[in-house]
Amino acid sequence: MGNDQQSALFPTYARYPITMIKGEGSRLWDDTGKAYIDLMSGIAVTNLGHAPQAVKERLVAQLDELWHVSNLFHIPNQEKLAQLLTEHSCTDAVFFCSTGAEANEAAIKLARRYASKVQGSGRYEIITFEKSFHGRTLATLTATGQDKVKEGFHPLPDGFVYAPYNDFAAVQQLVSDKTCAIMLEMVQGEGGVTPADPAFIQQLAQLCREQDLLLIVDEIQTGVGRTGKLFAYEHYGIEPDIITLAKGLGSGFPIGAMLGKAKLTEAFSAGSHGSTFGGTPIATAAAIATIETILNEGLVKRAEEIGLYAIDTLKQRLADNPIVKEVRGKGLLIGIECTQPAGELISALQEAGVLVIPAGPNVIRLAPSLTIPQADLDAGLDAVCQVLAQKAAAAVQ
């Protein structure tokens, strides 16, 4: 688009001054021919890297057969993908949709409907957490514990209350006769890449059992191998009632999913919920190939191993950097908390040919693909450490 031509897009994104035109593996190229090492994966989406061959082949085969058919008919790919997801999780049933917000919307609706139609309690309130992020629909942005995403959208739906993350006593105080569920991320991605404390999660799970509350785990960003487990809840020795997935599920093809325990199927009866583009033959083909590749090639274990390597490398090399407060994360979801805004640091890394993203105002977030070659990972980590060293040196001058 020429500089004198006004965009026909709504300006909802603060875009970087970069136009990407090609991706392969852990590399991206812009329209000037500049190459970048991708340590963001489209915000934890391209878990197999860009344009993975196994997914491409499955998509091409599906394009020759059937693109779309209404959910009024049986769709074999849905059944196959649902079987894959339930066999490798603690859940029994799956609802397919197109986005993470839609998956969380389904979880919220299911929790309320289960309380109403199955428990007969009429409870509707869901406890979520400060600094959480659950989506951009009216319900999911209300569930999000960040005021900035709610500005200008009032009045917001009733039914959400917020506790400080990792504070069990605060959660206990919020439980009432209106509470039907607790909803959280195992690692708060947008909130600063903050992992949940294991004792906190165990206490939450126990509370949900005692009070007959549903435990909803938002795995939109942490799911599909990113944290070194197929699902992040597995790090904590618990079984959620509901899990939501999207980002890493389809290698960049839009698909979301809500997974739940068998007891919840009674609440989502025919006609109670739906999605026109939920679980199309094309979307499910991409997701099947993605999940099968991750499982067959041992990429969950690889994410655990190279994630530990990346975190240890960053901790060692940044230990004496005065603008770095903490390095934290799980697997290949890593945060570097700094004493200055992340924006300038991210721009400097882009100039150096490395792509990362913010997680809150002062946190640099790394989310490389599970398939990133060791050489690319090392080059990316080296650039991060060099840029932070340069910024630290400039800060004391």
Binding residues for N(2)-acetyl-L-ornithine: 136, 275
Helix, strand, coil fractions of the chain, as percent rounded to 5: 40, 20, 40
Nearest to 37 by CA among 293, 372, 361: 372
Contact 350, 182 (CB under 8 A): no
User: Which amino acids are annotated as binding site, given as ranges?
Assistant: 100-101, 133, 136, 218-221, 275-276
Contacts for 238 with CB less than 8 Å, ≥ 6 apart: 201, 202, 205, 215
The token pair that represents 27 in the structure block = 């590399």
Please give the backbone phi and psi of residue 295, each rounded to the nearest 5 degrees, phi first: -75, -45
Tell me the three state secondary structure of residue 169: helix
- Residues for the chain: how many in total? 397
φ/ψ region of 42 (left if φ > 0, alpha if ψ in -120 to 50, else beta) reads left
DSSP class of 126: E
Please report, in range form, the residues annotated as the binding site for pyridoxal 5'-phosphate: 100-101, 133, 218-221, 276
Name the strand (E) or helix (H) holding 104: helix 100-113
User: Who's near 269: CB < 8 A, 6+ residues apart?
Assistant: none
Beta-strand pair 179-184/214-218: parallel
Cis, bond preceding 52 (omega within 30 deg of 0): no
* 34: phi then psi, degrees, rounded to nearest 5: -70, 135
